[in-house]
């Protein structure tokens, strides 16, 4: 089969690989129909994710058809149309029982990281019963690819942790696919204002179309001033960090109003200062989370009911044999205006 393989920092190739087989009775083999590329794949390619070793097939998102199941799989059978979660969950360990699937003691984010992933014609999914989700017959496959990772991440780490509530003011720093997913799902709760902050005018334009009530290009370093002006010097009830660098987390600390919440989504590789000298008396909360994908079933229903349309995040489409072009397009988003790219396997 064809597969996109990480060959070490800065190197990747489309290779011919043997088709995966069942290695545990709880496994399923899924024929991938659609997959995508995540910012995390770009991090891996930079060499930022040491758990992912050269030789690994990348990808942790996608939909497909079950090809074969192990003897212990009871919820799925060959021919079933399924959504693949980016997080594999045994369903039995202490963390899984608390729905903290990302911390599953024998699973978590392993796909396209410590085991071969979805950017291939076939993928082996461990713990299939609790890591796959059935797709209804009439569902839109492309939209559902956004539910493997992007939508649950924005919703769980940003919106739920950030306690977005009716009438409240929300700021989302970072209008990449994750920040935009937080923007789409924040609207379930009817916040009064959603202010999107980014450096890229094109992404801010998209944010406007996706329901942002205001957008701020923070290139001039005046985002704080502008938000304070917009909120009568109060700040925001929820500040969602969706970039993953010190300056944006520090901005969130300045944006948050008394009683508010800073919900961190970004993956941080560098230390960030915590300004307790300014925050100690402000009754704020700070939350962090690795996406659990525990909300996939709920998000499924919102897509089915047309409450949100995650397909709007898709900007480009490629066949699997053109996946190197897909990486090129996704990796130069400022130039290509790419958000999510669909890869048809």
**For Zn ion, which residue of 32, 66, 69, 96 counts as binding (CB under 5 A)?**
96
**Binding range to ligand NAD, per CB under 6 A, among 12-20, 21-29, 74-82, 171-179:** 171-179
113, 248, 293, 295: which one contacts ligand NAD (CB under 6 A)? 248
Q: Binding to ligand NAD by residue 286, rule CB under 6 A?
A: no
Nearer to ligand NAD, 39 or 134 (CB): 39
Site string for Zn ion, 197-226 (x = CB under 5 A): ------------------------------
Q: How far is CA 9 from CA 39, 49, 52, 199, 319, in A?
A: 15, 10, 10, 27, 24
Check residue 3 for interaction with ligand NAD (CB under 6 A).
no
Pairing of strands 28-36, 62-69: antiparallel
- The residue count for the chain: 345
For 225, residues 6+ apart whose C-beta sits below 8 A from its C-beta are none
Q: Which does 203 bind (CB under 5 to 8 A by kind): ligand NAD, Zn ion, none?
A: ligand NAD
Structure tokens at 245: 């660098």
225 scored as a contact of ligand NAD (CB under 6 A) = no
Does 157 contact ligand NAD by CB under 6 A?
yes
Q: Which stretch binds ligand NAD (CB under 6 A): 54-62, 71-79, 91-99, 240-248?
A: 240-248
Q: How far apart are CA 237 and CA 222, in angstroms?
A: 19
Residue from 20, 179, 260, 310 touching ligand NAD (CB under 6 A): that is 179
Q: How many residues bind Zn ion (CB under 5 A)?
A: 7
Evaluate whether 249 touches 264 at the Cβ level (below 8 Å).
yes
Sheet with 193-198, side-by-side order of all strands: 214-217, 193-198, 169-173, 236-241, 256-264, 285-287
Q: Is the dihedral of CA 264, 266, 267, 273 positive or negative?
A: negative
| Of the candidate residues 12, 60, 81, 203, the single one contacting ligand NAD (CB under 6 A) | 203
**Region binding ligand NAD by CB under 6 A among candidate stretches 3-11, 112-120, 170-178, 298-306:** 170-178
The Cα 76–Cα 135 span in angstroms is: 11
In the bound state with ligand NAD, the residue whose beta carbon lies nearer, of 139 and 267, is 267
Strands (E), the chain: 2-6, 12-16, 28-36, 62-69, 81-84, 122-125, 132-134, 169-173, 193-198, 214-217, 236-241, 256-264, 285-287, 314-319, 340-344
Alpha-carbon span 40 to 48, nearest angstrom: 9
Give me the residue whose beta carbon is nearest to ligand NAD.
176
R_g of the chain, CA atoms, integer Å: 20
Is 68 in contact with 28 (CB distance < 8 Å)? yes
20 vs 179, beta carbon nearer ligand NAD? 179
Token output for 14? 């489309």
Q: Residues touching ligand NAD: how many (CB under 6 A)?
A: 28
Q: Which residues face 343 on adjacent strands?
A: 35, 318
Selected range binding ligand NAD among 118-126, 162-170, 176-184, 206-214, rule: CB under 6 A: 176-184
Q: Is residue 40 a contact residue for Zn ion (CB under 5 A)?
A: yes
CB of 72 to ligand NAD, least distance (A): 29
For position 145 contacting ligand NAD by CB under 6 A, the verdict is no
- Looking at beta carbons only, is 57 or 313 nearer to ligand NAD? 313
From residue 10, give the alpha-carbon distance in Å to each of 4, 13, 48, 161: 13, 11, 11, 34
96 binds, among ligand NAD, Zn ion, none (CB under 5 to 8 A by kind): Zn ion
Are 170 and 143 a contacting pair, CB within 8 Å? no
Candidate list 67, 80, 116, 149; residue touching Zn ion; CB under 5 A: 149
Residues that bind ligand NAD (CB under 6 A): 39-40, 153, 157, 173-179, 197-200, 203, 218, 242-244, 247-248, 265-267, 289-291
């Amino acid at each position: 089969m064809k597969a996109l393989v990480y060959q070490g920092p800065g190197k990747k190739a489309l290779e011919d690989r043997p088709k995966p087989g069942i290695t545990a009775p709880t496994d399923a083999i899924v024929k991938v129909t659609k997959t995508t590329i995540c910012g995390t794949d770009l991090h891996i390619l930079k060499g930022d994710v040491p758990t992912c070793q050269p030789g690994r097939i990348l990808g942790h998102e996608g939909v497909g058809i079950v090809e074969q199941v192990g003897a212990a799989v009871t919820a799925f059978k060959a021919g079933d149309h399924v959504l693949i979660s980016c997080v594999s969950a045994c369903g039995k360990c202490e963390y899984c029982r608390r729905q903290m699937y990302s911390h599953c003691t024998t699973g978590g984010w392993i796909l396209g990281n410590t085991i071969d992933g979805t950017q291939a014609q076939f993928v082996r999914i461990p713990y299939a019963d609790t890591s796959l989700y059935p797709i209804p017959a009439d569902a839109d496959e492309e939209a559902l690819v956004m539910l493997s990772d992007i939508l649950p991440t924005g919703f769980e780490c940003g919106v739920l942790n950030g306690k977005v509530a009716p009438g409240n003011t929300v700021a989302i720093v970072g209008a990449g696919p994750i920040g935009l997913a937080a923007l789409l799902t924040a609207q379930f709760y009817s916040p009064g204002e959603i202010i999107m902050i980014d450096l890229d005018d094109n992404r801010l334009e998209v944010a406007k179309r996706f329901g942002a009530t205001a957008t701020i290009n923070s290139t001039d370093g005046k985002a704080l001033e502008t938000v304070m002006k917009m909120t009568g010097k109060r700040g925001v009830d929820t500040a969602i960090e969706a970039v993953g660098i010190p300056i944006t987390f520090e901005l969130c600390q300045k944006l948050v109003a008394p009683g508010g919440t800073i919900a961190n989504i970004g993956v941080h590789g560098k230390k960030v200062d915590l300004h307790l000298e300014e925050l100690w008396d402000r009754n704020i909360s700070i939350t962090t989370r690795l996406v659990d994908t525990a909300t996939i079933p709920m998000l499924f229903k919102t897509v089915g009911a047309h409450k949100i349309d995650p397909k709007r995040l898709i900007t480009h489409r490629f066949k699997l044999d053109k996946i190197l072009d897909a990486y090129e397009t996704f990796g130069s988003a400022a130039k290509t205006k790419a958000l999510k790219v669909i890869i048809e396997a």
